[in-house]
Homo-oligomer: A and B are copies of this chain.
Amino acid sequence: MNVAVIGASQTKFGELWDKSLIDLLAESELAAIRDANIEPFQIDIIFTGNMCAGPLLGQLNLSSIASEILGLSVPSNSTEGSCASGALALRAGIMAIESGMANIVLVNGVEKMTDEATEQVTTALMGAASTEQELFCGATFPALNALIARAYMHKFNLTREQLAMVSVKNHYNGSLNPLAHLQRKISIDQVINAPMVAAPLTLLDCAPISDGAASLVLCNQKIAKQCNKEMVSIIGSGQASGPLSLHNRDTLYSLKTTTIAAQQAYKQAGIIPQDIHVAEIHNAFSILEIITLEDLGICEQGTAGKITEEGWTALDGKIPISPSGGLKANGHPVGATGVFQVVEIYNQLLGRCNNRQVKNAKIGLTHAMGGIGATIAVNIFKKN
């Protein structure tokens, strides 16, 4: 592929009462442009991932806001694939460059969630699942993920402690990330004894509701090389779609779409899962990290709890997972999530992550999920 990342930014994530959706988008866009050392007028096309601004804020047409912030009249488009919206903006950006219709593309993800009550946010998030088959029956996202957790724990003897270790690891990473929503370490006991959300998942198995934005500057690789830009190449990209509601699935133990998208990306990149040095994966609920490790081919089905317990996924482990703290601790401003994952991998590959820097990271992977595996995008990055 012909596409490189030449700049990246993430705003502080959290409950940002003093910042609006537009404030966050503007801050993120300008920081990425600065990081790429380009001028706004060099941007040919903008893509912005967002999920909830329509249902929560009543604000649509973010595409035109994204260009107006920069004083540009260039084509601008918004993408939506629920929690994978930001990753779909990245995919659109890749296509724009590969098509020759753009040389430099700005990719954003943004979400402002804390202006509404949690109940309304929970309902809005169910837009990522089937309203007719799940929301109207009273299901919430934690409840649907709890079903999966129960089924998986029963089938593969995953222990409650192993599941909790996912959150403990992600919170540890978040404690090293000054932009993370949650920057405190937690213990296995704290996870298990936290308030129950949907058994077996407690509050500390679930990602927080976050505000935040993230941006990337993509560039045609040949042009980036001519300009002598520090860059990270996108060497593989895959995307797959699957059934929206859980009852239409063949299995609850695995999300087939992750495997399909990953295989496309591995094939294009010419690598195997064991070649990955660092990954940011969709861990909105602890159980999703367990299942995703297996679906990505990082370990055999049924063994993700064991490798988590053995420390493979820790910062100094065999394959560090979500060094940013992931959705659990860095936060989950849903439309921004698919973009912040790339920001983290970009920074990791360039060695800019200070205390949470993964050693010798040369190939990184991002895994974004919309719905519970209904939309999956996997991208692979390599340091030039």
**A residues lining the B interface (CB < 8 Å):** 20, 22, 46, 50-55, 57-65, 67-68, 72-82, 88, 91-92, 94-101, 123-124, 126-132, 135, 239-244, 248, 256-257, 260, 370-371, 374-375, 377
Cα distance, A78 to B54, chains bound together (Å): 14
Number of identical protomers: 2
Cα distance, A124 to B91, chains bound together (Å): 28
Cross-chain contact of A68 among B76, B123, B243 (Cβ < 8 A): B243
Query: Would A78 and B81 count as touching, CB distance under 8 A?
Result: yes
- Nearest CB on B from A59, distance (A): 5
Chain B residues with Cβ below 8 Å from A77 are 79, 81, 88, 91-92
Cα distance, A244 to B60, chains bound together (Å): 10
| Further contacts, 4 of them, CB under 8 A, given A73-B256, A92-B95 | A54-B54, A60-B80, A73-B240, A77-B92
Query: Provided the pairs A80-B78, A100-B98, A239-B75 are in contact, do residues A128 and B61 lie with their beta carbons within 8 angstroms?
Result: yes
Query: Would A244 and B127 count as touching, CB distance under 8 A?
Result: no
Query: Would B375 and A61 count as touching, CB distance under 8 A?
Result: yes
Query: Would B127 and A64 count as touching, CB distance under 8 A?
Result: no
Query: Would B58 and A126 count as touching, CB distance under 8 A?
Result: yes
Cα distance, A97 to B101, chains bound together (Å): 11
Query: Would B101 and A68 count as touching, CB distance under 8 A?
Result: no
Chain B residues with Cβ below 8 Å from A370 are 61, 63-64
A–B pairs, 8, beta carbons within 8 Å: A58-B127, A60-B127, A64-B374, A68-B243, A75-B240, A76-B81, A77-B81, A94-B99
Chain B residues with Cβ below 8 Å from A79 are 77-80
Which A-B residue pairs are the 6 nearest by beta carbons? A60-B127, A98-B99, A75-B239, A64-B374, A54-B54, A67-B241
- Nearest CB on B from A137, distance (A): 14
Cα distance, A333 to B240, chains bound together (Å): 28
Cα distance, A248 to B71, chains bound together (Å): 11
Chain B residues with Cβ below 8 Å from A64 are 81, 241-244, 370-371, 374-375
- Nearest CB on B from A65, distance (A): 6
Among A78, A96, A243, find the residue whose CB has the most chain B CB atoms closer than 10 A. Answer: A78
- Nearest CB on B from A96, distance (A): 5
Query: Would B59 and A240 count as touching, CB distance under 8 A?
Result: no
Cα distance, A50 to B126, chains bound together (Å): 17
Cα distance, A79 to B131, chains bound together (Å): 20
Query: Would B257 and A73 count as touching, CB distance under 8 A?
Result: yes
- Nearest CB on B from A282, distance (A): 14
Chain B residues with Cβ below 8 Å from A96 are 95, 99
Cα distance, A243 to B127, chains bound together (Å): 29
- Nearest CB on B from A351, distance (A): 31
Query: Would B131 and A58 count as touching, CB distance under 8 A?
Result: yes
Residue of B nearest to A48 (CB): B80
Chain B residues with Cβ below 8 Å from A74 are 240-241
Query: Would B241 and A59 count as touching, CB distance under 8 A?
Result: no
Cα distance, A370 to B78, chains bound together (Å): 12
Query: Would B68 and A60 count as touching, CB distance under 8 A?
Result: no
Chain B residues with Cβ below 8 Å from A97 are 99
Cα distance, A126 to B244, chains bound together (Å): 29
Residue of B nearest to A74 (CB): B241
Among A124, A129, A244, A260, find the residue whose CB has the most chain B CB atoms closer than 10 A. Answer: A244
Cross-chain contact of A72 among B46, B124, B241, B256 (Cβ < 8 A): B241
- Nearest CB on B from A132, distance (A): 8
Cα distance, A229 to B28, chains bound together (Å): 46
- Nearest CB on B from A347, distance (A): 26
Cα distance, A130 to B20, chains bound together (Å): 13
